[in-house]
Structure 1
Amino acid sequence: MVHLLIIIAGVYVATLGFAVLINVSPKYLNDGGIVGVAGYLVYLAYYTYIGGYVGGNVLGAFAIGIFGMIAARIKKAPVIIFNIPALVPLVPGGQAYQVMKNIAMNKPRVAFGFLMQVLMIAGSLAMGFLLAELVIQLFNYSMRSMKRRRKTA
C-alpha cells in the first residue's frame, strides 16, 4: 500500500513538474496532476493484473484522453493543457535511453529490441488518444442527435 502511495505521489509530482516546465497556468496544475495519476493508475492496473505494456499504454492514454477532455470541459480550458503533462509518466524515456546507449556501445541487436519497444509504446499512446477522441466525438454526436429528436417530438 505504501509502495502504491509513493508511485501516486511520484506520478503527480512528475506531471506537475512538466506542466510547470511548459508554463501551464497554476490554476490548472492540480487538475492536470489528477489526470496524470488517473491515466497512470489505469496503466499500472492493466500491466499488473493482465500484463503487457502495449495494452497498458493504450488504456492509460485512453484514460488520459477521456479525463483530460472532462477536465477541459469543467475548467473551460484547452484539453492539451491537461493531456500533454499527464502523458509524461507513460513516455518510454528509459527505453529510448537504452537505444542510444546500446548504439554507442556497438550492440545494434539489443538497440533494435529497445527501439521496437519505443515504437510500440509510442504507437500505443497515439492509439489510446485516438480512441479517446473517437469515443468523445461519438458521445457528443449522440447527445446532439438526442436533443434534435426531443425538439422535433
Structure 2
Amino acid sequence: MGLFINIVCVYLATIGFGLLVNLPKRALNVSGIVSVSGWLVYFYINTYISGYIFANLFGTFTVGILSIFASRYKKMPVIIFNIPALVPLVPGGQAYQVMKSLATGNFILAKSNLIQVVFIAGAIASGFLFSEFLNQLYIRWRVNLANKKSSEK
C-alpha cells in the first residue's frame, strides 16, 4: 500500500509542478506517467540493487528516454516532459540539510551532504546525457539506413 501512495504522490507532484510552470494541458498526464516510470526505476535500484547515485542515474536515463518517446508521440519539445518528470529525483532534502548544517555551524555534516548533492546532480546530468546520446545514435542509424536504401535503388 505504501508503494501505491508513493506512486500517486509522485504523479500528483509532477502534475502540480507542471501546472506551476504552465505546461500545456495535453502534456500533463504523459509527463506524470514519465515521472512515475523514472521514479519506479529509481526506487527499485535504490532499494534492491545499489545506492542513490546509480538509482538517480538510471531513473533519469529512464525519464530521458521516455521523454523522447513522449515528445514524438505528442509532437512537442522534449523539455516539456523532462523538467516536470525530474522533480521527484531532485535532491531537495539533501540541499536543505546542507543549508541547515551551515546555519547551525556543523560544517562536517554540511560537507558530507554537499558531496551527496553534487554526486546526485552529476548522476542526473549523466542520465540525461546518456539518453540523448542513445537518441542521437538511433537517429544517425536511421538516417544511414535510409541513405543505403535510397542508394541501392
TM-score, length of structure 1 as denominator length:
0.98
What is the alpha-carbon distance in structure 2 between the residues aligned to residue 30 and residue 36 of structure 1?
10
Q: 1:123 Cα deviation (Å)?
A: 0.5
1:98 is matched with which residue?
Answer: 97
2:55 is matched with which residue?
Answer: 56
Identity of aligned residues (%): 49
What is the alpha-carbon distance in structure 1 between the residues aligned to residue 44 and residue 147 of structure 2?
40
2:3 is matched with which residue?
Answer: 4
Q: 1:5 Cα deviation (Å)?
A: 0.8
Q: Aligned partner of 1:53: which letter?
A: Y
Q: 1:104 Cα deviation (Å)?
A: 0.7
The 3-state SS of whatever aligns with 2:105 is coil
Partner deviation per Cα, 1:122-149 (whole Å, 9 max, x = no partner): 0000000000000000011101111111
The 5-angstrom pairing of residues 125-144 of structure 1 reads 125-144=124-143
- Please identify, of 87-96 and 143-152, the stretch whose mean Cα deviation from structure 2 is larger: 143-152
Partner deviation per Cα, 1:42-84 (whole Å, 9 max, x = no partner): 1111111112100000001100000001000110001111000
2:31 is matched with which residue?
Answer: 32
What is the alpha-carbon distance in structure 2 between the residues aligned to residue 54 and residue 68 of structure 1?
21
Q: 1:151 Cα deviation (Å)?
A: 1.2
Matched residues, number: 152
Q: Aligned partner of 1:12: which letter?
A: Y
Q: Aligned partner of 1:39: which letter?
A: G
Q: CA RMSD in A?
A: 0.6
- Please state if 1:85 is matched with 2:84: yes
Partner deviation per Cα, 1:11-62 (whole Å, 9 max, x = no partner): 0001111110100011110000001001111111111111210000000110
Q: 1:110 Cα deviation (Å)?
A: 0.4
Q: 1:152 Cα deviation (Å)?
A: 1.4
TM-score, length of structure 2 as denominator length:
0.98
Unaligned runs of 5+ in 1: none
The 3-state SS of whatever aligns with 1:86 is helix
What is the alpha-carbon distance in structure 1 between the residues aligned to residue 140 and residue 2 of structure 2?
42
Q: Aligned partner of 2:121: which letter?
A: A
Q: Aligned partner of 2:64: which letter?
A: G
